[in-house]
Structure 1
Amino acid sequence: MCTVPIYIHILNVGYPFLLQDVTATKGNEFEDYFLKRELLMGIYEKGFERPSPIQEESIPIALTGSDILARAKNGTGKTAAFCIPALEKIDQDNNAIQAVILVPTRELALQTSQVCKELGKHLEIQVMVTTGGTSLKDDIMRLYQPVHLLVGTPGRILDLAKRGICILRDCSILVMDEADKLLSPEFQPSIEQLIRFLPTNRQILMFSATFPVTVKDFKDRYLRKPYIINLMDELTLKGITQYYAFVEERQKVHCLNTLFSKLQINQSIIFCNSVNRVELLAKKITELGYSCFYIHAKMLQDHRNRVFHDFRNGACRNLVCTDLFTRGIDIQAVNVVINFDFPKNSETYLHRVS
């Protein structure tokens, strides 16, 4: 009988990287960057006291207009590292799209747009989110109203740009979050077409935890003398205790049941490698008497949104998912991540756990 591993990862409760990744700062303050008073109000009301290392490195460089290629772990303040300079540089009196943030998934688009809205709550900046799988007509109608910052997935934004509805001639900032995923064959052609709609003096900010060779090729072609930030000298996950158990495939559910009874779980995310495995495992967990949701790419978008929202708000303790849910999703109550199926490569492993 084949024996395979289950990996279990115990995260620091409340914030997975509450170690040197977020505390080893230079001692800067947000006031040091001469940000708008209204933006500073949003930053402090969101609970940010002082910049994390990735924010210290990124914000002042982004404010100069330089291109950036930044590598940092998820959970270290990466989203604010590009949202803050984007919001600062937007002229709220110019009713045009001035910044675009590209992300690979709808869930991450919703999360990122929410961060932008919270940080910019005292600015008169209109933030819009647009992704595939939602009403194109609604997006078209929304774009007839002022939009300053657009967050979305590449295919939908390109579609709107080709239709002449999404006007990007004033868009001076393009952010690519989870850049390695955005430069996969699924997205890269759309992104390269989208860049043609931007002005020649645009600024590109690229952020991710892993940078395969595709990122270097893209950087060499599209970024101009980029500032390189690397806060990941090695592929490690400080702040996470990692365990694995070797069990026969038919014993995996029993092993999972044992873990549920032994671990103190606030919320857990459990990864499988296929849609069928996700649904079957979620059914088994429910039959064992534990609250469980599941999410994958073949679900209707409204259903996905509802599951994501409810899990984030604590309506359920366990979530079974595919790698759809690995990219930048920040749910601070999650303190256990379980790889029920073995990840396909080290990058997938890193993104699942972080």
Structure 2
Amino acid sequence: MAQAAPNAAAAEGGDWKARLNLPPKDTRIRTEDVTATKGHDFEDYFLKRELLMGIYEKGFEKPSPIQEESIPIALTGRDILARAKNGTGKTAAFSIPVLEKIDTTKAEIQAMLLVPTRELALQTAQVCRELGKHTNVEVMVTTGGTSLKDDIMRLYQTIHVVVATPGRILDLSNKGVCKLHSCRILVMDEADKLLSPEFQPLIEQLISFLPEDRQIMLFSATFPVTVKQFKEKFLRKPYIINLMDELTLKGVTQYYAFVEERQKVHCLNTLFSKLRINQSIIFCNSVNRVELLAKKITELGYSCFYIHAKMLQSHRNRVFHDFRNGLCRNLVSSDLFTRGIDIQSVNVVINFDFPKNSETYLHRVGRSGRFGHLGLAVNLITYDDRINLYKIEQELGTEIKPIPPHIEEKLYCM
């Protein structure tokens, strides 16, 4: 379909959808996390035709529960505090109303989307560009680890939506280069992480650059006490959305294997030979262990990338891009990769090192079973991990079962 088509399609009436370059319909089974909807259509929200075209061309057929709850409220301009599971469509839940509210006749930043990691910033900006491909909304991504000069030059051009990590955007704002006086929408994705002691002072400084009549929307899977304090200080009668009756994803089957530390690599090798892995993410608790394990996996003859926070940003970007495009089956990662990263073909997560808390466990496991699909989480548990395992099961209200000799493919493969 030619790029000139949007307005033509809009003018030609009811069969405009038939002329879109739509991806094939996804017929895979999905869990209630994304199917238990009220039956709304995207057209119900009176969105611009050009935006609807981007939504359908991205392959979205109907809004998921978090999208149904968020989009109409966000369009009214009300503050939102939304809690929903990883992999249920949160990014589109805030991107769609943001794109709808942008006035492209004004050459100014009108929305800021804050995220805690560079990879998530790139991914969120990409979703915004794809959804808004017919709308003329200009999206910029700015994060640490990239050229400050390039960002400054880009800000002299028209930008409507900026997707950023807090440190870099605050630096640009303090320099007077990034002007936020007309930025009336602030979205914080993975809000619990953004309100940790590491980020919260930066967030509060950033808010001081925004106009008084601003809209703030917080999205996360977990909301600790810090979020409550922030809500009371900065949000005005927020609309509360909570789709978290249970914490772990319905489609993720969870097992543990009780092993000694020295048996872990052998156990991993056995899992690789027995499981039907589309793509897997293997988590370690330290940067050094990430690199050592990736080397071991390669020596065993399996394709493997690794990623952690101490790598050069350009290298991180390349690994993220290539893994996402399916160039490698396995990725060894530190907890850098637990936040919001959406790679639909990941069907197996392995905790080579068991996490210390339930929040980290929840985010790691949420890398599989994306958008209602099935997934598998296997935890390698040592004697020292046994108390943590029990504690995480209790806190999340979930059951992590002993691994059986044979795992049925129907549990984690479509």
Q: What TM-score, normalized by structure 2, do the two folds share?
A: 0.81
Give, as a single letter, the amino acid of the residue that structure 2 aligns with 1:327: R
User: Does residue 1:266 correspond to 2:301, yes or no?
Assistant: no
Structure 2 residue aligned with 1:341: 353
Give the Å deviation of 1:16: 11
Match of 1:123? 135
2:179 aligns to what? 167
CA distance in 2 between partners of 1:19 and 1:222 (Å): 35
Does residue 253 of structure 1 match 2:265?
A: yes
Whole-angstrom CA distance in 2 between matches of 1:30 and 1:234: 27
Contact 1:131 1:157 in 2 (8 A): yes
Matches within 5 A, 1:20-169: 20-169=32-181
Separation of aligned partners in 1, 2:206 and 2:106? 22
The correspondence of residues 169-318 of structure 1 with structure 2, limited to 5 A, is 169-318=181-330
Identical positions, percent? 83
Q: Secondary structure of the residue that 1:60 maps to in structure 2?
A: helix
State the AA in 2 paired with 1:340. Answer: F
Aligned partner letter, 1:277: R
Give the Å deviation of 1:220: 0.7
What whole-Å deviation, never above 9, does each CA across 1:247-275 have from its counterpart, x for those lacking one? Answer: 00000000000000000001000000000
Alignment partner of 2:331: what SS?
Answer: strand
Contact 1:16–1:75 under 8 Å retained in 2: no
Give yes or no for contact 2:85–2:247 (8 Å, CA) kept in 1: no
**C-alpha separation in 1, matches of 2:27 and 2:198:** 31
- How many angstroms apart in 1 are the aligned matches of 2:103 and 2:45? 17
What CA distance in whole angstroms lies between the structure 2 residues aligned with 1:236 and 1:40? 31
The 2-side partners of 1:114 and 1:350 are apart by 25
Number of residue equivalences: 341
If you compute each CA radius of gyration, which structure gives the higher value, 1 or 2?
2
Aligned position for 1:9: none
Task: Specify every segment of 5 or more residues in structure 1 that has no aligned partner in the other structure, as ranges.
Answer: 1-13
Please report the RMSD computed on the Cα atoms of aligned residues, expressed in angstroms.
Answer: 1.2
Work out the CA distance in 1 between the residues paired with 2:34 and 2:260. Answer: 39
CA offsets, 1:118-162, max 9 Å, x none? 000001110000000100000000000000000010000000000
Amino acid corresponding to residue 245 of structure 2 in structure 1:
D
One-letter amino acid matched to 2:336: L
Residue 17 of structure 1 deviates from its aligned partner by 9.3
Question: Do the aligned partners of residues 17 and 98 (structure 1) sit closer, same or farther apart at CA in structure 2, a change above 3 Å counting?
Answer: farther
- Judging changes above 3 Å, is the alpha-carbon distance between structure 1 residues 17 and 82 closer, same or farther for their aligned structure 2 residues? farther
Q: Secondary structure at the match of 1:234?
A: coil
Cα offset, 1:344, TM superposition: 1.3
